[in-house]
Amino acid sequence: MIKVHQKVSGGFRGTDGADAFLAMRSYQSTAAEQGVNLLDALRRLLDGNPWTPATHGP
């Protein structure tokens, strides 16, 4: 996914931008895999109450 973003936008200015992009992409991907509405997950993140996936116990 990072190569796609790099090609489309012309690249990252530094590792901080790449790290931020990958963190956001990971958050979105995990929420989608868990069946969570992406807009709800992002809204919660911006409100300071981020969605976290359920943990499975032993």
Q: Residue 26 belongs to what domain range?
A: 2-46
Residue 53 within a domain: no
- CA gap 46, 55 in Å, rounded: 22
Residue 8 within a domain: yes
Predicted local confidence at residue 37, as pLDDT: 93
The long-range contacts involving 51-56, CB below 8 angstroms and separated by at least 24 positions, are none
User: Which pair of tokens denotes residue 37?
Assistant: 């509405």
Spell out the residues 6+ positions from residue 48 whose beta carbon is closer than 8 angstroms to its own. none
CA dihedral of 23, 26, 30, 35, whole degrees rounded to 10: 100
Segment 1-56, tens digit of pLDDT: 556 555 555 566 677 777 887 888 888 999 999 999 999 998 998 999 988 887 76
Predicted local confidence at residue 6, as pLDDT: 54
Residue 55 within a domain: no
Residue 16 within a domain: yes
Residue 20 within a domain: yes
The number of folded domains in the chain is 1
Residue 12 within a domain: yes
Residue 51 within a domain: no
Interior CA angle at 10 toward 4 and 40, to 5°?
A: 55
